[in-house]
Structure 1
Amino acid sequence: MFVAGAAQADQALKEPPIFAPLVESGKLPPMKERLPKDPFVVDFEKESKTIGRYCCQLVTLLGSAKDIRMMTVYGYARLIGFGPDYKLRPDILESFESEEGRIFTLRIREGHKWSDGEPFTSEDFRYFWEDVANNEELSGSGIPQVLLSNGKPPKFEIIDDRTVRYTWEDPNPAFPLGLAGPSPEYIYMPSHYMKQFHTTYNDADTLAKMAEEGGYRNWAAMHTVKGRQYRTENPELPTLQPWRNTTDGPSKRYVFERNPYYHRVDPNGQQLPYIDEVIILTESVDIIPAKAGAGESDLQARYLHFDDYTFLKQGEENQDYNVLLWRNGVANQISLYPNLNVSDPEWNKLNQDVRFRRALSLGLNRDEINQQLFFGLAKPGGDTVLQESPLYKEEYASAWTDLDVEAANKLLDEIGLTERDSKGVRLLPNGKPMELIVESAGESTEETDALELIRYHWEQLGIKVFTRTLQRDIQRRRFLTGETIMTISKGLDIGLATPETNPEQLAPVSPSQPNWPKWGQYTETGGKAGEPVSLPAAERLLELYNWWRQSTNVDQQEAIWAEMLEIYSENVFSIGVARETIQPVVVDKKLQNVPADAMFAWSPTAFFGIFRPDTFWFEE
């Protein structure tokens, strides 16, 4: 049983100044009444933090209105979450108890409230389970995968107003990890707010009229958009995060105000966060490094790359910021994903042929890319766990990554691609030239520059490479519909994996995976959409993933991970280029409690999340 930190905090300290007038006028209860009876007390000594002061706005830059979801990532308030030591512990919850890896009891903090002051109770879990997850109109794809074990849902019970229990027939180790993720699985909703949009609690005709007036397709679409907790587009939606959105979008400027009912405090009993407002300015991705270098962001890492470091460093003195160099926790900074579900039959056959993927990998001059893009500071290698991971083996990182043009050409000849046109470009079996289009979201100059080198490398194999830049949402739609042959992007978010980490990225489980989107869609929807896995190695990965989903034995989980990593690297399901890179982080010199050295990763760190931005504060 895990019980949250219970150090007793003095709750008689002064109010955050921004709330003092509201408290004095009676519009807001005093801090002691707003906090849970036992708030989460952040261990400043263990986390090497200093006591801060209330004040100010923090400004950061994001590439689009949709990226306001990063506030949920950075805020990182979770039912249970990872601490800076990468261990899970209760956060929003008072306690989290696991029995046999299949029975999970969740207990809410006494007196915990949503950002609008309404109680956070078991009813919010019941509403999600009965009225959303099990409602076909709201959950057409079925119950979320993290709530299934061996394909079966749990038994849900309300024990009391503060306690709920989920019981599966088989173990479900993915459940706690899903709650702690950077994009968490929400198993609760603010029911007091959401019921006004649900047909169970309102007249269907009234809701239909509301949906029509709001420009929604139907009541279900209205409910979905109004209730998004990850991408907080609805300013009226109550939240449990440290800051709440106050801006109707789309907008170039979003204001997130402190949550007056937030559940964390510092060791002196001061309610967090210290910072009153977070201002998000949306800008073109291309100019964010320049704006960060001009001092227009107080905290910036997203959209910054190693090749921006020299420029950013030059601005330190004049613009009053520091450039920190964090280690990048992604498995590979640049990876290529052949789409094994591409619609074109010729390319589909090639992409599914392991000899083709190996040939492409052997044909890359990773040392040249490392020198040109990363000044030799990265490590050439495949898309697999980093050395910091206990699962790391050198053979995973080096599999099919040594430059060997002769061996690569031999593999392509072996496939039967022996015919060439007058320019030396190989011909597909249908007689067309091998013109490989690699699609990019265009958010990284590193990817663009790498593609120029890759274009030359693969010309030595008789493959003509073209590139296409698309918006990320369009890019994802294209690879899911089978229009994309290959995608370039960051590598897998498994760099820091442990045996207890969910190995879902190594198996076809989601339509957002660019290397097997239709197979992933089939898994995610339980066969309602997509295509069944048809490649033996991928079938084995899915089988191993399902075994891991039923295991609570760490040794067994480690063995599963080892086999999955071996299969993935040997089959080159993604083609990694550069590993262990550096992430520049621009930090205003007055901003305190930001670690000088840390790991920047989607999972498990949630980028800044586990370092608790609610404890960041500005010196005068």
Structure 2
Amino acid sequence: MISRRTVLGLMASAFLPGTVRAGDLEPEFLQPQLKARALPALAERLPKSPRALNLAAMGRQPGQYGGTLRTIIGSQKDIRMMTIYGYARLVGYDEKLNLQPDILESYDVADDRVFTFKIREGHKWSDGSLLTPEDFRYCWEDVWLNDELSQGGLAPALLADGKPPRFEIVDPLTVRYSWDAPNPDFLPKLAAASPLSLVLPATYLKQFHKKYQDPFRLAGLMKENRAKKWTLLHIRMSRQYRPENPELPTLDPWRNRTKPPAEQFVFERNPFFHRMDENGRQLPYIDRIVMNVSSSAIISAKTGAGESDLQGMGIDFSDYSFLKDAEKRYPVKLHLWKRIQGSRLALLPNLNCADQVWRGLLRDVRVRRALSLAVDRREINLAVFYGLAQESADTVLPESPLYRPEFAKAWVAHDPDQANALLDEAGLQTRDDDGLRILPDGRPAQVIVETAGESTLETDALELITDHWRKIGIALFIRTSQRDIFRSRALGGQIMMSMWSGIDNGVPTADMNPYQLAPTIDDQLQWPLWGAHYLSHGKVGEAPDLPPVIELMALLKRWNASTEATERAEIWNSMLSIYTDQVFSIGTVNGTHQPVLASSRLRNVPDKALYGYDPTAYFGVYMPDTFWLGES
């Protein structure tokens, strides 16, 4: 660990032959502020014990300051990618998905019930104000426990056995959260791509809180910012995950300098960021990141035209040939990372769909198994993924310690005869003159599969599956709609079946929450109403009434109360077994490749890596603050 004294030592020795020069420790980008004394020197900006990275030991090159990196996003909302990519967390994952302190100097866990967090002495927010226990207290008492600001109640990770923690400030650098029951999900949620919020810049935000602000001044701030309620004002000004307020102090490597609406967002280096390299240089290396807003439909075209220096979002495997060809025209390099979803494309039968006949059929495991057996995954792999993917059920990947071959093979063998037999057994023996099966109410068996229409891979695969299902007497029709409409239609029961990716985290360890295998959130497309019921603590949606799903919920409850790694692994095993055998998601292939295009000047970008939202945070666990721009 490098201390502030070491930084001062590096600066003092900067004039000796063969050492780091003093000027090299300060980014050129900050020189105007330093000369104007608007910023303190580096040793005063860093915590007393910064997080020191030995890049050479990590197989990377220590870098140099400077430059602007361009990337493309599909909408203004996607500035949240900077929070994901920056991946500054109280506790975060390393590349091997082990948890470690990041913003925190250290943490201690007793029985998965008592979590003690130590703050780095002298750690500052991006505006230079100190990070203190008051920032944790404010977030807990004045935001989470404020019924007006947190109308949805506490986040599930803040509850153990349905009860919130006791919060205490132990000393000027230490806070503690204590539960009577185990809360094994607490640390993983702090390390997530969209992290559980525990700390807010209290000094800045109190001006927008009715408890601390004069009512007349608060009314003026509401009028100035066109907010009808003080709560809406506070929520807007405090939003960390989607950092739309340029004035909000941050702990991330880069801070937003652009107020929406805009077609280009500029993020500049945080002069108080807490990480440094082995040469005493403060991270991030790159001064500025420019996010250009574009239509999602043309991100791949713009990327292939040399308009991005680092791009994973908005491009897909179907763009591989075009992007590979861009290497001949521009100073760029195309990498292929491995996607971590349990299935790259999965069919999700909506067990909560409003059509009562189809609801009953889709809840019959024989129908789900038949639909899965009818799919020719080999043909999809060859035609859509050039044979480079793995044909598999929607389950964990071999990179996970929880992987079992039998989960991957569950109901994926292409067997139309068995599929036909299962549908006959489920009561769909009668067919019309076109060979389509007749539903109990006399309609022909027509399945409408809806997608968000964001990838040609989906329609390419669905056109093949249309032929596969026709052979078992099921007609498939494709409908596309915009993502927000698509999700609201699913929650309203209007979607019969959808195509999306499979389970998000295909590389879990036993210590990661198996919530994705049970209805726990309202955007799980195979059971959105059951997920909404869990998420709202029973206030909306419906309670699950299907025995295997009830069993999954019971197992999840057991995991949430578990303190033993072996017991958690056993629970994961049971849940994966039920999930794959019951075919709650019809997987196709996994282990597919994600193109990542990077400028040939950009150093420290891994050639091979895992790509996904959670737990890898796309580029996040590979620490983009250590990427730097060299010569082409």
Question: TM-score, normalized by length of structure 1?
Answer: 0.96
Q: 1:157 aligns with which of 164, 168, 184?
A: 168
After the TM superposition, which residues 65-464 of structure 1 pair with which residues of structure 2 at under 5 Å, given as runs?
A: 65-203=76-214, 207=218, 210-211=221-222, 214-464=225-475
- 1:69–1:230 Cα contact (<8 Å) kept: yes
Which of 478, 498, 510 lines up with 2:509 in the alignment?
Answer: 498
- Residue type of the alignment partner of 1:172: N
Whether the aligned pair in 2 keeps the contact of 1:47 and 1:84 (CA below 8 Å) is no
Cα distance 1:161–1:476, how it changes in 2: closer, same or farther (>3 A)?
farther
| Cα deviation 1:241-296 (Å, max 9, x = unaligned) | 00111111232211111111111111111111010111111222222122111111
Q: Are the aligned partners of 1:437 and 1:486 in contact in 2 as well (CA < 8 Å)?
A: yes
Bigger Cα displacement from structure 2, 481-490 vs 419-428: 419-428
Q: Does 1:528 align with 2:539?
A: yes
Mapped to 2, the partners of 1:195 and 1:616 lie a distance apart of 36
Compare 110-119 and 6-15 and name the one that shifted more: 6-15
| Range moving further from structure 2, 219-228 or 421-430 | 421-430
The offset of 1:210, in angstroms, is: 4.1
Aligned counterpart, 1:27: 38
Secondary structure of 1:382's partner? coil
CA deviation string 1:518-540 (max 9, x = no partner):
11111122112221111111111
- Can you give the 5+ residue segments of structure 1 that lack an aligned partner in the other structure? none
8 Å contact kept, 1:594–1:616: yes
CA contact (8 A) 2:4 2:43 kept: no
Task: Report the secondary structure of 1:543's partner residue.
Answer: helix
Identity of aligned residues (%): 49
The letter for the 2-side match of 1:272 is L
Q: Deviations over 1:319-365 (max 9, x none)?
A: 11111122222221111111111222122212222112111111111
- Most deviating of 289-298 and 175-184: 289-298
Q: 1:569 to 1:6 in 2, by over 3 A?
A: farther
Asked if 1:10 is matched to 2:7, the reply is yes
Which residue type is aligned with residue 446 of structure 1? L
- Distance in 2 (alpha carbons) for counterparts of 1:526 and 1:212: 35
2:495 to 448, 467, 484: 484
| Residues paired across the two proteins, number | 617
Q: Which moved more, 1:43-52 or 1:500-509?
A: 43-52
Match of 1:465 among 463, 472, 476: 476
- Whether the 8 Å contact between 2:4 and 2:48 is mirrored in structure 1 is no
Q: Quote the offset at 1:205 in angstroms.
A: 6.4
Q: Deviations over 1:393-425 (max 9, x none)?
A: 111001011111121122222222233333333
Of 609, 614, 620 in structure 1, the residue corresponding to residue 625 of structure 2 is: 614
- How far apart are the structure 2 equivalents of 1:240 and 1:287? 33
Residue equivalent to 1:581: 592
Kindly provide the amino acid, as one letter, of the partner of residue 283 in structure 2.
L
- C-alpha change, 1:194 and 1:409, in structure 2 (3 Å) is same
What amino acid maps onto 1:403 in structure 2? H
Match of 2:18 in 1: none
The residue identity in structure 2 corresponding to 1:100 is D
Among 503, 525, 546, which residue is 1:514 paired with? 525
Unmatched 5+ stretches in structure 2:
12-21
Quote the Cα distance in structure 1 between the aligned partners of 2:538 and 2:180: 22
C-alpha separation in 1, matches of 2:3 and 2:444:
67
* Alpha-carbon RMSD: 1.7
Q: Deviation at 1:211?
A: 3.6
Is it true that 1:47 corresponds to 2:58 in the alignment? yes
Matched position secondary structure for 1:540: helix
Contact 1:9 1:41 in 2 (8 A): no
Q: Secondary structure at the match of 2:425?
A: helix
1:552, CA displacement in angstroms? 1.9
Equivalent position SS for 1:384: coil
Query: In structure 2, how many angstroms separate the alpha carbons of the residues matched to 1:522 and 1:473?
Result: 20
3-state SS of paired residue (2:360): helix
Amino acid at match of 2:424: D
Q: Which runs of 4+ in 1 moved over 3 A?
A: 4-9, 203-217, 419-422
Q: 1:212 to 1:510 in 2, by over 3 A?
A: farther
User: Does structure 1 conserve the Cα–Cα contact (< 8 Å) formed by 2:4 and 2:46?
Assistant: no
CA distance in 2, matches of 1:43, 1:540: 46
Counterparts of 1:407 and 1:216, CA distance in 2: 60
1:470/1:207 CA distance change after superposition, 3 Å? farther
- Is the contact between residue 10 and residue 268 of structure 1 (CA under 8 Å) also seen in structure 2? no
CA distance in 1, matches of 2:32, 2:379: 61
Counterpart CA distance in 2 for 1:141 and 1:589 is 46
Give the residue type in structure 1 aligned to 2:110: E
Letter of the 1:111 counterpart: G
Distance 1:215 1:537 in 2: 49
